[in-house]
Amino acid sequence: MYNSRISGLGFYVPENVVTNDDLSQVMDTNDEWIQERTGIQERRHVIKGTDTTTSMGVKAAKVAIERAGIDKDEIDFIVFATLSPDYYFPGPGVLVQRDLGIKTVGALDVRNQCSGFIYGVSVADQYIKSGMYKNILVIGSELHSHGLDMTTRGRGVSVIFGDGAGAAVLTREEDASKGILSSHLHSEGQHAEELSLIAPGMGKRWVTDIIEEQDPEDTSYFPYMNGQFVFKNAVVRFSEVIIEGLKVNGLSAEDIDMLIPHQANLRISQFVQKKFGLSNDQVYNNIMNYGNTTAASIPIALTEAWEAGKVNEGDLVVLAAFGSGFTWGSVIIKW
Ligand code: UT7
Write out pLDDT tens, residues 160-219: 999 999 999 999 999 989 999 999 999 999 999 999 999 999 998 999 999 999 999 999
Q: Whose CA is nearest to atom 9 of ligand 1?
A: 227
Among 18, 30, 35, 228, which residue has the most ligand 1 atoms within 8 Å of its CB, making it the best to mutate?
228
Tens digits of per-residue pLDDT, 53-65?
999 999 999 999 9
Q: How far apart are CA 156 and CA 181, in angstroms?
A: 37
pLDDT at 230 over 90: yes
Enter the CATH code of domain 179-195+222-334. 3.40.47.10
The reply to whether 179-195+222-334 shares the fold of 3-173 is: yes
Q: Which of 196, 166, 146 is CA-nearest to residue 18? A: 146
Q: Where are the domains of the chain?
A: 3-173, 179-195+222-334
DSSP state of 292: B
pLDDT value, residue 38:
98
Contact assessment for residue 63 and residue 10, using Cβ atoms and an 8 Å cutoff: yes
Tens digits of per-residue pLDDT, 251-301?
999 999 999 999 999 999 999 999 999 999 999 999 999 999 999 999 999
pLDDT at 40 over 90: yes
Is the C-beta atom of 159 inside 6 A of ligand 1? yes
pLDDT value, residue 116:
98
Q: What is the mean pLDDT of residues 56-79?
A: 98
What backbone phi and psi angles, to 5 degrees, belong to 297?
Answer: -65, -45
Is the C-beta atom of 268 inside 6 A of ligand 1? yes
Is the C-beta atom of 323 inside 6 A of ligand 1? yes
Known catalytic residue at 114: yes
pLDDT value, residue 234:
98
Q: Whose CA is nearest to atom 37 of ligand 1?
A: 156
pLDDT value, residue 181:
98
- Average pLDDT over the chain reads 97
Known catalytic residue at 262: yes
User: Is the peptide bond between 276 and the residue preceding it cis, with omega within 30 degrees of 0?
Assistant: no
37 C-alpha to ligand 1 centroid (Å): 7
DSSP state of 47: P
The domain covering 3-173 belongs, at the CATH homologous superfamily level, to Thiolase/Chalcone synthase (3.40.47.10)
Neighbours of 94 (CB within 10 A): 19
Q: How far apart are CA 212 and CA 228, in angstroms?
A: 34
Q: Which atom of ligand 1 is nearest to the CA of 157?
A: 16
Residue spans of beta strands (DSSP E) within 13-117: 17-19, 42-44, 77-81, 106-110
